[in-house]
Structure formats: C-alpha cells, structure tokens
Structure 1
C-alpha cells in the first residue's frame, strides 16, 4: 500500500527539536488525529500504532497518519500483542482482547507527550513501562493546562468501558470535551485550521525534513557464523 510522498517530515522530529509543543499546537494536532481516528473507526479499522514517528506533516503542515502495519479491521476484539511499549493500553499488555479503545488510550499518551515533551509512562526496560501502565502511576509536569489534564485522564482510563471515545457516543464524546470547545470540526475535516508548523520545502521531492540514516556501513558488518546459520536450517 503506497501513499504519495509526504515531504514535511515526522512530527517526532519537530517535537524533539522544540522540546514540547505549546497548548495551541498540541490542540491543532490532537484535532486532526481525532478526526482521522473517527474516520478509521467508522470503517471498523483499529490503527494500533499511534506515535509521533508515524505522524507526517504534508507540505502545508497538516498531519497524515502513516505505517498501517498494525492496523486491522475488527468485528469484535483481537488479541495480538503489538504496538510501541510507551503507547500500549493496559488491555493489550494483559492479553484481555482489545478493540478501537486502544487508539483513544494512545491519543491520551500522545497529547501528554506533546505538551510535556516525554511520555507519561517511561522506563529503561519495557517491563518497567508495562508495570507503570498497569499501575497507573504517572506524574504531571508543571505547568499542565487543567483542561488538557482532564482530557488526558479520561483517555487514560484503565477501564476501557469508561474510556473517553469508547463509550456510547464514540468519538463524539472526545470532540465535545472542553479541550476542543472552540473547534469547528467541519473546518478540521476540510483542513481549514492554520497549522502551527509549515515545513520548509523547495520542491515536491524535497527530503530535507527527514533525518538521515546512513546505510554505508553494511559492507563492514561481519557475516553470520555457520553456527548461527545452522539454527535456521529447519525453516
């Protein structure tokens, strides 16, 4: 599955360069993600890999979600353990079966990270991250906008049946939260909101907004030993 080239680079790069986003910037990106998730969920598609690295900016600064490798069409629940440790919902870690509610949890993580500059559950070891997620242990940076904090708490509700976005009114409950009180959702859908960041782009194929990952050291990499190769002989 191919997209057109999206030349603005990853939201991740802009967030790391800025340290954290201002409240209006975080609000803008949250709006566009809510609109995208609402559309995916209307098609019964759960995305399952929301994170700054998978959000690209187009030439005008609007978001595009990319990397649908973990996306799945659901009729009920699924049990596959997949995603990025810091963004996993409790029900994924506990193998209880999960549905589109995991995307709303991940949105809560993302909004926190955009406004704080780091995710709410962090540890050097993935299992340490899982323990913190399941324990619900998180600290709040100062200052943190109280309305944004309330939205994040309601998205990071351990009980998915009470999680914002996964109740009777679905995405409408998220869109009606006070955090989005001045938002015209038709304008969001039509991309009429003014992006906080407009990428520097000289031409359609410009790659300057993507980090460079050199691949010229592969020739010096040692070959796999015969012993290691033998382990795969039966496959």
Structure 2
C-alpha cells in the first residue's frame, strides 16, 4: 500500500475510532458500522450516520441480546453483544478500505473463519486488523485497551 493510501486509511480510521469513542463514552452502541453509514462532511471529515438501530445505556458490564445491522458485518458471537461489535465492524471496514475485499466473505458467502491478510499489508496495519477482528471480545482491541495507542497511528 502506498504511503498516501496508508495515510488516508490512518486518517479515516482515526476519525471513525474517535466517533466510536464519542458514542461509547455516552453508552451508545451503533451496531451497524459499515461503509454506507460513514459519510464525509464538506471539510472531508467523517460523520457516522444512521443511528436507527443504535442501542443506548450499554455499559461494559451490560450485554444486549439479539442481532441487528448488516449481516456481513456481524461478528460470530453477536447474539449477545456490547460495544465490542462496533470495533469488530470497524475492523471489517478497515480491511475493505485497505484491500477492497471483505475479510470473511466472497460474493455474500462466508468462505473462511479467520481473515486472510495480504502479504503486502504494513505490519502495523496487519496487527491492528487482527486485533480488531478478534472473535473473543475479551481479547479484542479497545474493549480493554486504547486503539489510539496502537503503533498503526504513530
């Protein structure tokens, strides 16, 4: 990935992460992070839209039951969820922005359980994607740590 594309990916990912932090600090889980729910304003900054299925009053100890959102972005454990679902979905969005493909699907069908990362991805990007696309939410980045501290954003 070229330096320019890498910089754009880093910028937009950081803005989405800030938007998710904003929502999560207010105990709101978006539940439908995907490219069509991420828009740019007139100055080129991210706006997370379509809060129609967002869930309020979700804390780190709260678990909500049920599924919502676009199925190709759902995590395998999403029958019971909390804020981790938004970080999983960010990982899928990042993967799509960096590769043009979905990490788990091909043509609408699930083709693999683990994301296949292209060899040309930057090591920091690869590590961030693997941390976001962690099925075990307790191990997932930003459930118990800070995404902003990840080397991808250095």
- What TM-score does the superposition give when structure 1 sets the normalisation length? 0.60
Equivalent residue in structure 2 for 1:103, among 68, 71, 86: 86
Where do 5+ consecutive residues of structure 2 fail to align? none
Larger CA Rg, structure 1 vs 2: 1
Map of 2:75 onto structure 1: 89
- CA distance in structure 2 between the aligned counterparts of 1:41 and 1:150, rounded to whole angstroms: 23
Map of 1:53 onto structure 2: 36
Where do 5+ consecutive residues of structure 1 fail to align? 1-20, 182-235
- CA distance in structure 2 between the aligned counterparts of 1:124 and 1:55, rounded to whole angstroms: 22
Does residue 65 of structure 2 align to residue 79 of structure 1? yes
Superposed CA deviations along residues 19-68 of structure 1, whole A, max 9, x for unmatched, are xx811111010010111101100010001111111111111111101111
Equivalent residue in structure 2 for 1:37, among 17, 20, 35: 20
SS at match of 2:19: helix
Equivalent residue in structure 2 for 1:114, among 50, 73, 97: 97
Does residue 116 of structure 2 align to residue 139 of structure 1? yes
- What TM-score does the superposition give when structure 2 sets the normalisation length? 0.89
* Number of aligned residue pairs: 148
Cα deviation for residue 146 of structure 1 reads 1.0
- CA distance in structure 2 between the aligned counterparts of 1:105 and 1:154, rounded to whole angstroms: 9
Higher relative contact order (CA 8 A, sep 6+): 1
Cα deviation for residue 124 of structure 1 reads 3.2
Map of 2:138 onto structure 1: 161
- CA distance in structure 2 between the aligned counterparts of 1:107 and 1:71, rounded to whole angstroms: 15
Equivalent residue in structure 2 for 1:65, among 48, 52, 55: 48
Range moving further from structure 2, 27-36 or 81-90: 81-90
- CA distance in structure 1 between the aligned counterparts of 2:92 and 2:107, rounded to whole angstroms: 17
